[in-house]
Amino acid sequence: MIAIYLENTQTALYALQSAFSLSKSLKKEFAIIAFADSENEAENIRKNVENIVGITEFSDAKIIVQNKNLSELSDLCEQLEISFLFIQLSENRSKSIQKYLNACRDLRIPYLIYKDSFSTLNLEKVLVPVTFLEEEYEKAQFASAFGRFCNSEICLFPANDYGSKARTTTEKMANLFDKFALNYTVEKAEKDSFKVEKETVAKAEKENFGIVLLSASRDYGLDDTLFGPKERHLIKKSVVPILLVNPRGDLYALCD
């Protein structure tokens, strides 16, 4: 199931269209999720969502409006077996972005924080930076899905590191793409693993990529707590949607 979490039903059309379009491409069910502080508010939100659904192409969407806190979003996604989550971002502020990053820290699925300023999602060109971290390979399965089901052109963008880890991971990704005969290129970045993601966001805007795939921070250190994690700054700055994949502690020994 592909789901979208709505923050403001009045400004959610492009985000809704994007999530719905992806659900059709991947042949998945489509769900609309919203939370409320009270039963009365939940009922009002449900009516607003039903009005949107009733006059658009989302008529077969599953509507889930509950009296819950945002901290419960991850558990709900697991209960509903959601495979990809869109999150509407009405205000491009650090505080707003961070609250969703916090809510999504335990997600085992990819999630896309979708600004109201974005137009509908364009998956013709997908940009995938590759750093020295082992878990970067996890992005390959999602890039592969875009290539297989959305006919996306994938660009692997390995960091310009002294070591061989980014190059090795890039080769593993390329081997997976070759199995499905996907359309992809490999272009080495100018920056190293610590700066390649910032370079990626700039490249995506300059060269009209439709989406960027990033790994979220493994853990929040003191600097992340005080000044915000890298993904918060990148999301706030980017004019291109950023898909985030959480590192899996159960798959990797996080000791690089």
CATH 3.40.50.300 fits domain 125-245: no
Burial class of residue 168, CB neighbours in 10 A (0-12, 13-18, 19+): middle
For residue 246, pLDDT beyond 60: yes
For residue 33, pLDDT beyond 80: yes
Whose CA is closest to 110, among 69, 156, 145?
145
Instruction: Please give the model's pTM, rounded to 2 decimal places.
Output: 0.91
Strand partners of residue 40: none
Would you kindly state where each structural domain of the chain is located, as residue ranges? 2-115, 125-245
- Four-way CATH pick for 2-115: 1.10.3470.10, 3.90.245.10, 3.90.1170.50, 3.40.50.620: 3.40.50.620
pLDDT on residue 55: 64
For residue 251, pLDDT beyond 70: no
Identical topology for domains 2-115 and 125-245: yes
Residue 67 contacts residue 37 (beta carbons within 8 Å): yes
- CA pair distance 196, 188, nearest whole angstrom: 10
Stretch 233-242: mean pLDDT: 94
Stretch 222-249: mean pLDDT: 80
> pLDDT (tens digit, 9 = 90+) per residue, 119-153?
999 999 999 999 999 899 999 999 999 999 999 99
Determine the residue type at 251: L
For residue 245, pLDDT beyond 70: yes
Helix orientation angle between 139-149 and 165-179, rounded to the nearest 10 degrees: 30
Whose CA is closest to 140, among 110, 176, 168, 187?
176
pLDDT on residue 21: 92
Structure tokens at 23: 């659900």
The label of the residue with tokens 């990529």 reads: 209
Stretch 221-239: mean pLDDT: 76
- Please state whether beta strands 30-35 and 2-5 pair in parallel, antiparallel, or not at all (unpaired): parallel
**Band (2; pLDDT cuts 50, 70, 90):** very high
Whose CA is closest to 28, among 145, 115, 176?
145
- CA pair distance 47, 39, nearest whole angstrom: 12
> pLDDT (tens digit, 9 = 90+) per residue, 147-167?
999 999 999 999 999 989 999
- CA pair distance 17, 26, nearest whole angstrom: 14
Residue 171 contacts residue 140 (beta carbons within 8 Å): no
**Band (49; pLDDT cuts 50, 70, 90):** confident
**Band (254; pLDDT cuts 50, 70, 90):** very low
